[in-house]
């Protein structure tokens, strides 16, 4: 599904990723854990196509296609989805308007017909009900005045509607209380399927109790330094990141 080869990335002369290699198989849920500043969020932005980063070397292949040559919107249409750590508030853009525009833009890019309004509404409401999102929220401007938990649920709602192939969840557990964590995790688990893979970025093992990963990778200084099964997360929780921090600047 996704293959990252020797990825080297910098921003304003700061090298963040140093020859990162990672493979996520079809249907796999891979977790990335690591200390602050190890490059986890950078990796998620580079996969999604944020332009601030300079890719010096390497490839990111989605089903064999190098996504580094595509703009962010083309990657989205190809099936990449990033659930943001801090979803942005967009005053003046209605949530429903936004959802419909995204869905139809992606369908158009894939040569599919636009959804009819009733069909669109049905899909949104079904996903919203599953995620316990109040329909009143859908009438408001995107993310404006939403709580941290509401914003994260809105991210998962978008993921459910857009049906991506490869989902990156960037610290989706941050800012969530126990109930919200359960709702969000159930939302993600419901989307687990053949033909769809996940990269779950987190600091804490807690999230991985809810979204049980197939593999766990430890990231440090812009590289994957250790790979294991779900038990690796428990080890890290017990021992901390001390052994991976050596020589790190921040």
Partner 1 sequence: MADVTNLRSPAEAGLSKLFESARKSFATEEAISREEAFRFFEATGLPSRRVEAFKYTDLRAAITEAAPPAEAPAEDAAKAAVAGATSFAKIEAVRLTFVNGHLVAALSDLDRLPEGVTVAPLNAALAQGDARLKRLAPVEQARENPVYQLNTAFLADGALISVAEGARPAMPVHLRFVGAGATAFSTATRVLVELGAGAEFTLLESHEGPDGVAYQPNDALDVRIGEGADFRHARLNAEGRAAVALSTLSVRLDAEARLETVNLVTGAVLSRHQIYLHVAGENANAVVNGAALLGAGQLADSTLLADHAAVGGVGREMFKTVIDGDATGVFQGKIIVRQVAQQTDGKMKSDCLLLTDDGQMMNKPELEIFADDVACGHGATCGAPDDDLLFYLMARGLPRAVAESLLVQAFVGEAVEAVSHEGARAELIGRIEAWLAARG
Answer yes or no whether residue 90 interacts with partner 1 by CB under 8 A.
yes
Answer yes or no whether residue 51 interacts with partner 1 by CB under 8 A.
yes
Answer yes or no whether residue 133 interacts with partner 1 by CB under 8 A.
no
Residue with tokens 């932005």: 45
Q: Answer for the pair 17, 39: CB distance below 8 angstroms, yes or no.
A: yes
Answer yes or no whether residue 120 interacts with partner 1 by CB under 8 A.
no
For the CB of residue 45, give the shortest distance to partner 1 in the complex, in Å. 8
**Judged by CB under 8 A, which stretch of 88-96, 132-140, 192-200, 228-236 contacts partner 1?**
88-96
| Angle, CA of 178, 245 and 68, to the nearest 5° | 80
Answer yes or no whether residue 52 interacts with partner 1 by CB under 8 A.
yes
The beta-strand segments (E) located in 148-232 are 166-170, 197-202, 215-220, 223-228
DSSP string, 64-84: TEEGGGS-HHHHHHHTEEEE-
CA 46 vs. chain centroid, Å, equals 11
For the CB of residue 216, give the shortest distance to partner 1 in the complex, in Å. 25
Q: Select the residue interacting with partner 1 from 34, 39, 58, 87 (CB under 8 A).
A: 87
3-class DSSP assignment, residue 51: coil
Answer yes or no whether residue 53 interacts with partner 1 by CB under 8 A.
no
Q: Where on the chain is the footprint of partner 1 (CB under 8 A)?
A: 48-52, 71-73, 75-77, 81-82, 84, 87-88, 90-93, 98, 101-103, 105-106, 109, 141, 158, 162
């Amino acid at each position: 599904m996704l293959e990252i080869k020797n990825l080297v990335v910098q921003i304003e002369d700061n090298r963040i990723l140093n020859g990162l290699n990672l493979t996520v198989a079809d249907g796999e849920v891979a977790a990335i854990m690591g200390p602050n500043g190890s490059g986890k969020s950078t990796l998620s932005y580079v996969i999604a196509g944020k332009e601030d980063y300079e890719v010096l070397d390497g490839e990111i292949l989605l089903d064999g296609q190098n996504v580094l040559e595509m703009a962010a919107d083309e990657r989205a249409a190809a099936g990449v989805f990033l659930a943001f750590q801090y979803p942005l508030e967009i005053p003046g853009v209605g949530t429903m308007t936004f959802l419909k525009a995204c869905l139809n833009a992606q369908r158009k890019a894939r040569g599919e017909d636009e959804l009819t309004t009733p069909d669109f509404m049905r899909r949104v409401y079904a996903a919203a009900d599953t995620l316990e999102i109040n329909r009143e929220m859908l009438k408001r401007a995107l993310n404006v005045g939403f709580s941290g938990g509401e914003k994260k649920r809105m991210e998962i709602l978008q993921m459910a509607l857009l049906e991506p192939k490869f989902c990156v969840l960037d610290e989706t557990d941050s800012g969530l209380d126990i109930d919200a964590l359960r709702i969000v995790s159930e939302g993600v688990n419901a989307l687990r399927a053949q033909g769809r893979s996940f990269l779950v970025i987190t600091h804490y093992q807690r999230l991985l109790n809810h979204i049980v990963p197939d593999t766990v990778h430890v990231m440090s200084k812009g590289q994957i330094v250790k790979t294991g099964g779900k038990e690796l997360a428990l080890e890290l929780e017990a021992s901390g990141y001390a052994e991976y921090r050596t020589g790190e600047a921040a």
